Amino acid sequence: MALQNRKVLYVSPAKINMWRWKVHWEKEQSGSFFSTKEEAIRSARQLVRSYPEGYCSQIKVQRADGTFEIEWTYGKDPFPPRG
């Protein structure tokens, strides 16, 4: 699968008062909302497993300041680290 076709799923702090965490695909505004980060991560991991292998390449968990706390890569990593 070409790199540009690989989808990235984000777990991000939500801007809505009632919910605190959002799970959404890269470059999409819509998504699912959760009250805890743990619920959002669990949902994101389940969502990735529901698609065929290669559909989603990564889950990235963001902090409130926009930096990334953790990420998981699925399938063949197009840029694996050396050693």
Give yes or no for a contact between 9 and 60, defined as CB atoms under 8 angstroms apart.
yes
Supply the pTM of this predicted model: 0.78
Q: How far, in Å, are 19, 33, 41, 77, 81 from residue 23 at the CA level? A: 11, 6, 8, 22, 27
Tens of pLDDT along the chain (83 residues) come to: 344 567 899 999 987 766 789 999 998 888 999 999 999 999 999 998 888 877 777 899 999 888 999 988 876 655 666 65
- Rg, the chain, Cα only: 13
- The C-alpha atoms of residue 18 and residue 75 are separated, in whole angstroms, by 35
